[in-house]
Amino acid sequence: MRVFNFSAGPAMLPVEVLEQVRDELTDWRGSGSSIMEVSHRGKAFMAVASEAESLLRELLAIPKAYKVLFLQGGATGQFAAIPLNLARADSTVDYLNTGAWSKKALAEAQRLTGRANVAADESASRYTTVPDPTALRLTAGAAYVHYTANETIGGVEFPYTPETGGVPLVSDMSSTILSRPLEVQRFGLLYAGAQKNIGPAGLTVVIVHESLIGHARPGTPAVFDYAGMAAEGSMLNTPPTFAWYVAGLVFAWLKRQGGLEGVAARNRAKAQLLYRAIDESGFYSNPVAPGCRSWMNVPFTLARPELDAAFLSEAQAQGLTALAGHRSVGGMRASLYNAMPLAGVEALVAFMKEFARRHG
């Protein structure tokens, strides 16, 4: 039996994709070996790789002037790669601080650039808000503006794309990419670790405008230099072939779901169902301002924290797993990525109602 797994990542993958992986695992399309066991430069894998890229380009309507890179090192690797490629040692870079992941990105920029300006800081609301779009303290001539489109731990998601007056906009989209349509042309660069909405861990997708490629500062490690990676089709060294292959299957699955419009409608419905159940319960609460509540990561607390352990073990017994909040904040968190079916959210809401009735 497959459980409804609410993990924030690595997260649920579509069961159809897992079944296809299983069916193709030992003998990929009659080749006599799995796709993991062949050269990344061979015909078979090259076809898999370029098919994945074209599907992603189609799903996100990525303009030609952008390169799509399939890298390693996680989103955390990009926290460093971005300042190394986009800023000089004496550049000013702007960061919007909306929570745990923005802070980590900012910390790398502080190590690697002359001046990392905090252009917005939501600590006063305990990171339950996003900044007012007109109140960003941006630096004229900054090398770029960085923000975290969705804070996976805090459950805060930007309902707007920041306006930067021509300065390249860089976004960490790890936990929101592919959850709804996106205007790629508004961004200089966007990046995401794969392990939430793309595929298995180990792959990092970077979508970057060509004008930002080729300016890495001296000393940038070759695997983090966008120019070298773009020139080599992300095969400067051995890429994470299995994760890349599975990502391609996930992209094809998304296309069959009606693309990002179709997926967005389902994601909105899933999130609304859960937030309504929380808000109407008088027992559960979510601290995030209604205008910027995440569709993907829904943190919530119980009226009596001493019931947390019972909540988690009873949920687990019903096949509702990985609901514990991040270790830094406690409470609960339900992640509702693309692969979580509506039936999973319905089962969670039914369990939550029944638990609150018994303990409320």
- Positions that interact with ligand PMP (CB under 6 A): 9, 74-76, 101, 148, 152, 172, 174-175, 193
Active site residue: 101, 244, 253, 295, which one? 101
Determine whether 23 is an active site residue.
no
Give the residue with the Cβ less far from ligand PMP, 193 or 331: 193
**196 tagged catalytic:** yes
DSSP symbol at 340: S
Q: How many alpha carbons lie under 13 Å from residue 271 in its C-beta half-sphere?
A: 26
**Closest to 335 (Cα-Cα) out of 2, 10, 3:** 10
- Measured from the Cβ of residue 185, the count of other Cβ atoms closer than 10 Å reads 11
Which lies closer to ligand PMP via its Cβ, residue 81 or residue 320? Answer: 81
Query: Are the beta carbons of 331 and 300 closer than 8 angstroms?
Result: yes
Nearer to ligand PMP, 35 or 80 (CB): 80
Residue 176 Cβ, how far from ligand PMP at the closest point, in Å?
8
Q: Is 216 helix (H, G, I), strand (E, B) or coil?
A: coil
- Please give the structure tokens belonging to residue 198: 């793309």
Residue whose structure tokens are 């638990």: 355
Which of 78, 220 has the CB closer to ligand PMP? 78
State the CB neighbour count (10 A cutoff) for residue 326.
16
Q: Is 270 part of the annotated catalytic residue set?
A: no
Closer Cβ to ligand PMP, 80 or 302, answer by number: 80
SS3 of 93, please? strand
C-beta of 5 vs 281, nearer to ligand PMP: 5
Closest contact distance (angstroms) between CB of 27 and ligand PMP is 31
CB of 246 to ligand PMP, least distance (A): 16
Give me the catalytic one of 172, 244, 270, 295: 172
Name the active-site residue from 196, 225, 244, 253. 196
* Helix, coil or strand: residue 108: helix
- In the complex, least distance from residue 174 CB atom to ligand PMP, rounded to whole angstroms: 4
Taking the complex as a whole, the smallest distance from the CB of residue 100 to ligand PMP amounts, in Å, to 8
Tell the smallest beta-carbon distance from residue 193 to ligand PMP (Å): 3
Task: Give start and end residues of each alpha helix (H) in the chain.
Answer: 15-24, 43-60, 74-86, 100-112, 226-231, 241-256, 259-281, 308-317, 342-359
Query: Of 209, 204, 211, 174, whose CA–CA distance to 188 is shortest?
Result: 209
Cα angle 202, 206, 212 (rounded to 5 degrees) comes to: 145
Query: Known catalytic residues?
Result: 101, 172, 196
